[in-house]
Every structure is written in structure tokens, then in C-alpha cells.
Amino acid sequence: MIKVLLVDDQTILAEGIKSVLETCEDLKVVGIAADGAEAVTLSEKLKPDVVLMDIRMPNMNGVVATKRIKEIDDGIKIIILTTFDDSDYILSAINNGASGYLLKDIGSTALIDAIKNAYAGDTILPSKIAKKITDAAVMVSSDKEIKLKKTFGLSDREVEIALMLCDGFTNRQIASALKLSDGTARNYISSIYLKLGVDGRSAAVLKIKQHT
């Protein structure tokens, strides 16, 4: 039996979700919390296996509550269940220990399956949500590239290599990944150092991070 705690400030919605979940004999709703603060208290008291957590709530939002609950008991699986598909919310929730992120338009069977899968240790991210995260990462990467080009006058290839330097790639790994000779890779890196006004890798990485 998987014990589930529901967290939502809309009581009628929480009651509806409870009714749906209890059609499955493997699930038992052990409590309903009206906000994040109550969710933390009830999690400590009721020891649920899975928490279905709303995001926007009074007193304490779902992201903060997720972080607090995971600090108390890392074994509790938390699935964000919300109407908001904002990439900042998604990333914050996942970074704070959530096992998944679902939208409230999900069907009852899919919701029950998601709870079972999260309990088994899976990460629950529907394709629409996964795309949001990917798009956000691409935007961050694109923003970095634009800043490096504008600030230091780096070429597209130099930007690519500069970001790889930041990620800890060695000269040989850069050459291999970009199908360059070792000498060509070294020349690009020397050019990057020159444009950044530095004389070594550590200083280059530091300067790149300061400007991206």
C-alpha cells in the first residue's frame, strides 16, 4: 500500500483527487494539507510514501515545502501537480528534490501510474514538461553565446570551445569532440586567451564565468 499525502489550497480539488486515487487499491490517501507549511508538518507526522504537491499556495509555496520535506526525510517522493508549466518552477522543484512534475489536466489512470512509478524511483516528466526544461537550457546556452561574442569578439567556434573549457574539457577532448587536430584546438584556445586578455586556462574559465 502506497501512502499518499495531498497538498492543495483548493479543498474541492484535493477531495476530487482523493476520490480518484482511492479507486486504486494500491493507494491510500493519508491526509490533505492546505498549504506548504501544513504539508511539512503532516509529512513528518504521517510519513507518506508519496506527496502530491501544488506549487502556488499561501504561507509556503510548493517548491519551498518540497525542499523542507526532503530535508526531513529524503525517502519521501514528491510529485508537483499544478496548473503552471513555467520552466522556472519546474527547474526549482526538480533541483529541490521533486521526483516529477505533472499538470492538473492529467488523466486519472496516468496520475495513478505516475504515483506508482515515482514510488518505484522513477522521475516523472511528461514530454511537454521535458521540452520546457530543454528549451530553458537552450535559452541559457544561447544567452551565454551572445554575451561572449559581444564582450570579447569571439567567433562561433571560439565560443563553442570557450564553453567547453568551462565544462572542464581538456585540449585533447575538445579536439576529439570537434574533430580538430590537437594543433588546431591549441590555436583556437590560444586565440581565446588572447581575446580574453588572460594567460592560462584557470584565468580564462574564471573570466568566462564572470561574463556569462
Residues 155-190 have pLDDT tens digits of 989 998 998 898 888 898 899 888 899 999 999 999
Instruction: Tell me the residue range of the domain where 116 lies.
Output: 2-125
pLDDT band at 126 (very low <50, low <70, confident <90, very high): confident
The answer to whether residue 134 is domain-embedded is no
| 7 three-class SS | strand
- Which of 61, 92, 125 delimits the end of a domain? 125
Percent of the chain with pLDDT over 70: 92
Q: Are residues 88 and 184 in the same domain?
A: no
Q: For position 144, what pLDDT does the model report?
A: 81
Same domain membership, residue 206 and residue 164: yes
Residues 100 and 49 in one domain: yes
Three-state SS annotation for 20-67: HHCCCCCEEEEEEECCHHHHHHHHHHHCCCEEEECCCCCCCCHHHHHH
Q: Can you give the pLDDT at residue 191?
A: 95
Report the 10 Å Cβ neighbour count for 187. 12
For residue 133, tell me if it sits in a domain: no
Of 125, 159, 176, which one is at a domain's C-terminal end?
125
Examine the domain organization and report whether 206 and 116 are in the same domain: no
Residue 134 — pLDDT band, cuts 50, 70, 90? low
The reported pLDDT for the residue numbered 83 is 84
Supply the pLDDT for residue 147.
86
Indicate the DSSP class of residue 83: S
How confident is the model at residue 109, as a pLDDT? 95
pLDDT of 29 strictly over 70: yes
% of the chain beyond a pLDDT of 90? 64
CB atoms within 10 A of CB 26: 11
Domains of the chain: total: 2
The 10s digit of each residue's pLDDT in 9-26 is: 999 999 999 999 999 999
On whether both 120 and 163 belong to a single domain, the answer is: no
Give residues with Cβ within 8 angstroms of 206, minimum separation 6: none
H or E element: which one contains 80?
A: strand 77-82
Distances (CA, A) of 24 to 28, 115, 116: 8, 11, 11
Same domain, 119 and 146: no
Q: Are residue 103 and residue 162 in the same domain, yes or no? A: no
- List pLDDT tens digits, range 81-91: 988 776 677 77
**Position 158: which residue type?**
E
* Residue labelled with grid coordinates 569571439: 154
The answer to whether the pTM exceeds 0.95 is no
The mean predicted confidence, pLDDT, of the chain is 90
- Give the Å distances, CA to CA, from 187 to 42, 55, 165, 204: 60, 49, 14, 15
Q: Which residues contact 102 (CB under 8 A, 6 or more apart)?
A: 79, 80, 81, 82, 111, 114, 124, 126, 129
pLDDT of residue 127: 72
Looking at the structure, do residues 75 and 161 belong to the same domain, yes or no?
A: no
State whether 107 and 186 are in the same domain: no
